[in-house]
A = this chain, B = another copy of it.
Amino acid sequence: MKGIAQLAQQLGISTGTVSRALNGKPDVNAETRRRVLEAARSQGYAPNHAARALAQGATHQVGFMIQLAPENASSNDYFFMGVFDAMQRVLDKHELDLLVLPCPSHQDHYTYLQRFVSRSAVDGMILASTMRTDPRITLMQSSGIPFVTLGRSSTGSGYSWIDLDFETAVETAIDRFVARGHRRIALTLPDGEINFGSVVHQSYRQALARHGLEYDEQLVLTTHRREDDGDGVVDRLLALSAPPTAIFLMYELTAIGIYRRLRERGLEPGRDLAIISFRDEPTIRFIEPSLTCFHISLDDVGIALAHALLAQIPQFSKAYPGGIIGKRPPVTLVAGRSDACDPPA
> Which residues A247-283 have CB closer than 8 A to chain B?
256, 260, 282-283
Interface contact B85-A105, CB-CB below 8 Å: yes
> Which residues A43-97 have CB closer than 8 A to chain B?
44-54, 59, 68, 72, 76-78, 80-81, 84-85, 88-89, 92, 97
Tell me which of A18-26, A111-119, A213-221 binds B: A111-119
Interface contact B48-A51, CB-CB below 8 Å: no
A104 to B227, CA, bound (A): 31
A287 to B283, CA, bound (A): 11
A88 to B76, CA, bound (A): 20
Name which of A51, A52, A77, A102 has the most chain B CB atoms within 10 A of its CB. A102
Contact flag A88-B104 (CB < 8 Å), given A49-B119, A51-B54, A68-B81: yes
- The residue on B at minimum CB distance from A114 is B44
Interface size class of A (residues with CB under 8 A): 35 or more
Contact flag A118-B256 (CB < 8 Å), given A85-B102, A283-B282: no
A47 to B116, CA, bound (A): 10
Minimum Cβ distance to chain B for residue A178 (Å): 30
Q: Which of B54, B105, B114 contacts A50 (CB 8 A)?
A: B54
Q: Which residues of B contact A120 (CB under 8 A)?
A: 48-50
Interface contact B102-A101, CB-CB below 8 Å: no
A59 to B54, CA, bound (A): 13
Q: Which of B45, B78, B104, B286 contacts A92 (CB 8 A)?
A: B104
Q: Which residues of B contact A72 (CB under 8 A)?
A: 81
> Which residues A91-147 have CB closer than 8 A to chain B?
92, 97-102, 104-107, 114-116, 118-121
- The residue on B at minimum CB distance from A102 is B84
Which 10 A-B pairs have CB atoms at the shortest separation, nearest pair first? A77-B77, A100-B100, A50-B53, A46-B118, A49-B119, A88-B104, A50-B54, A68-B85, A49-B121, A50-B50
Q: List 26 A-B contacts (CB under 8 A).
A: A46-B114, A48-B119, A48-B120, A49-B121, A50-B50, A50-B52, A50-B53, A50-B54, A50-B59, A51-B54, A52-B119, A68-B81, A68-B88, A76-B77, A77-B77, A77-B80, A84-B102, A88-B104, A88-B107, A89-B104, A92-B104, A98-B102, A99-B99, A99-B100, A100-B101, A100-B102
A49-B120, A85-B105, A88-B106 known, 9 other contacts, Cβ within 8 Å: A50-B50, A50-B52, A68-B84, A77-B77, A77-B80, A85-B102, A97-B116, A100-B100, A286-B287
